[in-house]
Amino acid sequence: MKPVLIRQHEEMTPPGLLVEWLEDRGISYEVNYSYKDGSIPDPSDYSFVASLGSPYGPNDTHEPGVLAELELVGAAVEKDVPVLGLCFGGEVLSAVLGGRVERAPVPELGWREIETDDPGAIPSGPWLEWHYERFTTPPGAVEVARTADAVQAFRLGPHLGVQFHPESTVEIVADWAGADTENLAKLGIGDGRDLLAIPPEREEAAREAAFRLFDAFLAEAATHRSENSAGAAGGKE
């Protein structure tokens, strides 16, 4: 199996539980720091691409890193390399597939339960969220989960985009909350870290839910790859 490509877009947005899951499953991976290196890897060298969070959105095309991610995810889709888009990564995937990314009427900050049509693959949470924009479900994709305020997950072929952060821990998001004081003050929130309080057993349940989501994504990607291989073999003369 080829390694997994993880695209990290900021020092404060590490892959967290995604790396824990990859190491637990014995899957090799590479973390590519888009904010340090302007080069764009070839997605066909990897089994799948995971695109993490970012302080920017896909509409911020004045940022070279955003343009690079749109190009990379677009190339992955074109080459049929599965993409796992997490928050910003999900927004980029939506944009590449013809969806829209827009200002969310209500920022989703802290723990949120979601309504899911496939709880085995996309558990209801609670999940950690920290975003002020939202994506729409792209044409041809299947919306899998939502809240009253935003689409939370969609699938198209082997690709999965989610608006929440299954890869993040409370410690990671607490750093975001600590740096987001200006936006929080406008919302009348004094300390965003108060939004992250949760009993340890619920935090462990979120970790287990993240592992189930990653397992389901990998299984779907493997099924897609197997079907494509069988179709290609059947078409040979």
Q: Which residues are part of the catalytic machinery?
A: 87, 165, 167
101-112 vs 151-156, strand pairing mode:
unpaired
Q: Which residues of 190-208 are buried (b: 16+ CB within 10 A; e: fewer)?
A: eebbebbebeeeeeeebee
Structure letter (DSSP) for residue 199: -
Question: Nearest CA to 53 among 160, 163, 215?
Answer: 163
Q: Which residues of 83-118 are buried (b: 16+ CB within 10 A; e: fewer)?
A: bbbbbbbbbbbbbbbebebeeeeebbbbbbebebee
Rounded distance between C-alpha atoms, residue 99 and residue 91, angstroms:
9
Which three-class secondary structure state does DSSP give residue 5? strand
Task: Give me Rg for the CA atoms of the chain.
Answer: 17
* CB-CB neighbours of 220 under 10 Å: 17
Rounded distance between C-alpha atoms, residue 42 and residue 24, angstroms:
26
Rounded distance between C-alpha atoms, residue 102 and residue 82, angstroms:
24
* CB-CB neighbours of 216 under 10 Å: 16
